[in-house]
Structure 1
Amino acid sequence: MANHLPTVGVEEEYFLVDASHRAVVAAASRVLPRVKPVAGDLVTGEASQYQVEGKTPPCGTLSELRHGLRRVRRVVAAAAADEGLRLVASATPLLGMRAPVPLNPDPHYRAQVETFRSLYDTFAFCALHVHVQVPDREHAVRVGNHLRPWLPTLVAMAANSPFWEERDSGYCSWRTLGTARWPVAGPPPYFSSAAHYDALAASLQAAGATHGERSLYWDVRPCAHLPTVEIRAMDVTTSVEEAAVFAVLVRALVVQALERVRRGDPGPAVDGSLLRAAYWRCARDGLSGHSLDPRTGRLVPTLHRLRQLLAYARPTLAEQGELPQVTAVLRQLVAHGGDAGRQRAAHARTGSLLGVVDDLADRTAAGPAPGEGPHRVDRRRATRPLGERRPDPGLGVPE
């Protein structure tokens, strides 16, 4: 790890919506069999039948991430289109959700419902999860201590869920509020070691508050089946470019944290109550408001915290040549008020949530190549096995 940049991978969740009525549709069981021969395990089900999840392989560069995300979105969009559906990358459903939501029949979710009961009635949220390679579980836990102060800023940066139950919630990231109801969710505690993490996880499982590591929904956690630290604080983002940039930005935060861990720095033990308050404020106001700095307890402009985050990540981004692209995307986000601002602008422009769904679906489409319209899918790309690594002339992916 000291001699190379860690790989990074992305998991992102999407809603399936009816192309005519724009309401979410419980169609995962119809779409997934169409995707499986092409995507294999890179596209899977999620908690509700309204959703599917796409994944990239481990990637080394920003271009590889773009390529992987475009490919998986194209494949899922093609399969959805065959069922009269479109793909929408929003962190909450806009139209048609009914409680209780239709759940994935996976035994894992059935067991969870027995424990968490009506918490699952409205559990339909789409997130962006970033996995970054780390040497071992000990490093993953200690890296989490260093990431905790930055998590509220990630919430604000990626906020993409202003609408809930077919009205404006008044929040930029309602998903953050919706998932906070779980007994183990949101910002993780401060851990002195991996042994401390495992002991607390065991106590929570013994109390019935979790069903093993899969239901430890902290926003930073060591992955149970991969040598990675997983960062889960962000709403799914509508744009491929922004999803890829968010992933390399998170990787840069992890690289800087790893360096501090190697020097013996245990990380700032920020107060958990301040951290939760900072989450709430960033979920409400997004990039345009103020944020509680959990290290100082002071209210500061969220843009100030975003600049601090970028300064923290800058050495790694600059070394990899990613700083100009990351900076350009962040400037664009600020100018538009992020994805939440774009959703509200689409609603103001079109006068209805139907228009917001159309705008989201167009922007979720994997960035059409020259000559492609927003609704057209290149079937040759969409049916090529995702494990097959070929360069995309428009993305600069190396052989």
Structure 2
Amino acid sequence: MKILTVGVEEEFVLVDRVGRTPVDRAPDVLASATRVLGEQAQREFFNAQVETATRPTASCRDLRDELAWLRAVLGKAAGAEHCRPVATGTPVVRPVRPLTVTDTERYRRMARRYASSFCPVDGLVCGCHIHVGAVDRDTALGLSRRMAPWLPVLQALTANSPFARSRDTGFDSWRSVEYARWPTVGPAPDLDESHYLARVDQLVRTGTLLDRRMVYWYARPSEHVPTLEIRVADANADVDTVVLLACLVRGLAVTLLPEVLDDRPAPRVPLRRLLLAHELAARYGLSGFGLDPCTGLAVPAVELVDRLVRRARPGLDAAGDTEGALRQWRRLRARGAGAARQRAVYRRHRRLTDVVDSLAAVTAAA
């Protein structure tokens, strides 16, 4: 089997060390961090968030080491500005004042054109995006069609945003709800390369999208690197959850790649069923039932993860990731996913500031 490389983009919210609210200090934090990280530390839509990007690697062990290093450098730069990076899908504590949009021409244009898609008080969201490659656009599209039924399972596995606006939202991934306000967010349409290019060009030409980089489908060919990008996960403070996600995405892609190269038919899943599966993943994460998109039957979410691991097993075996993935899945299942752990901290202390402190500590402990 061909072993694909894997890379991770992580988004973090910057919170004040005293108030634990999001703060617009990204320009100063990045000015320091980029002296060490270069282009691996990047701006995001709001000045209260930053993004880091790993280099592509064939080793999940090396991936974990690099994620830990990126977080350490970012944490040191943030500490000098009296704030902390926190990996969570949505800020736990409501900002004291409206957040500001990052001052670049592209983000200013996005803010003007899509003002109804976000709120400067509570519209900040942080995701974790996985890249697998190197693959050309047509291969990426073929993989995205075949991976679509499994993406709600990965979404449930990484749900980590139960709190927003200083309250419990009732969802395990409130980020999924907020993020869906932006155009094109959702399952990717079933397209080959020529139809993909025509569809995206039409979306840009009609003003639905600002540019090609604004294609926000849950699985998409990257526009800046030769990869398939998976965009369903919340940012997670626990770095081993991030590595598990990357291993499963890469394992599934490696398993399915021969089907793409042999041009075997992809399973056809009704869009309505996919949307319901994603809705259940956002609401319940791993704590309740999910939907098997292939059969339409309700299944415990943890059982769906077990099925995903079995489906990805050939790719996991080929990359040498099986033992580590199984170990991390058992650990995650025993401890609970991110949303459950956030709520557990709140139940113990009854203070949202303690939830923020716990997330910040786990983010830094990588």
Normalised to the residue count of structure 2, the TM-score between the two structures is 0.96
Q: Is 2:46 the counterpart of 1:48?
A: yes
In structure 2, what residue type is equivalent to 1:114? Answer: R
Identify the residue that residue 73 of structure 1 maps to in structure 2.
71
1:99 Cα deviation after fit: 7.1
CA contact (8 A) 2:125 2:175 kept: yes
Identify the residue that residue 28 of structure 1 maps to in structure 2.
26
CA contact (8 A) 1:190 1:269 kept: no
Q: Is 2:121 the counterpart of 1:152?
A: no
1:101 Cα deviation after fit: 2.9
- Measured against aligned partners, the alpha-carbon deviations of 1:317-361 in whole angstroms (never above 9, x if no partner) come to 123321121112112222232000000001011111011011001
Identify the residue that residue 296 of structure 2 maps to in structure 1.
297
1:312-327 equivalence runs, <5 A: 312-327=311-326
In structure 2, what residue type is equivalent to 1:10? Answer: V
- Measured against aligned partners, the alpha-carbon deviations of 1:264-289 in whole angstroms (never above 9, x if no partner) come to 22311211111111101111011111
- Measured against aligned partners, the alpha-carbon deviations of 1:73-104 in whole angstroms (never above 9, x if no partner) come to 00000000111111111110011326753111
- Rounded to whole Å, the distance in 2 between the matches of 1:65 and 1:31 is 23
Identify the residue that residue 91 of structure 1 maps to in structure 2.
89
Identify the residue that residue 13 of structure 2 maps to in structure 1.
15
1:237-276 equivalence runs, <5 A: 237-276=236-275
CA contact (8 A) 1:16 1:26 kept: yes
- Measured against aligned partners, the alpha-carbon deviations of 1:252-310 in whole angstroms (never above 9, x if no partner) come to 11111211112222311211111111101111011111112222222111122111110
CA gap 1:153/1:9 in 2 versus in 1, 3 angstroms:
same
- Measured against aligned partners, the alpha-carbon deviations of 1:334-392 in whole angstroms (never above 9, x if no partner) come to 2232000000001011111011011001100143xxxxxxxxxxxxxxxxxxxxxxxxx
Identify the residue that residue 173 of structure 2 maps to in structure 1.
173
CA contact (8 A) 1:77 1:365 kept: yes
CA contact (8 A) 2:161 2:173 kept: yes
CA contact (8 A) 1:142 1:261 kept: yes
SS in 2 for 1:249: helix
Range moving further from structure 2, 40-49 or 318-327: 318-327
SS in 2 for 1:229: strand
SS in 2 for 1:37: helix
Q: Is 2:185 the counterpart of 1:185?
A: yes
1:37 Cα deviation after fit: 1.0
Q: How many residues align?
A: 364
Range moving further from structure 2, 267-276 or 312-321: 312-321
Identify the residue that residue 386 of structure 1 maps to in structure 2.
none
CA contact (8 A) 2:12 2:51 kept: yes
Q: 5+ residue gaps in structure 2? A: none
Q: 5+ residue gaps in structure 1? A: 368-399
- Rounded to whole Å, the distance in 1 between the matches of 2:253 and 2:96 is 39
CA contact (8 A) 2:221 2:227 kept: yes
Range moving further from structure 2, 202-211 or 172-181: 202-211
In structure 2, what residue type is equivalent to 1:53? Answer: E
SS in 2 for 1:266: coil
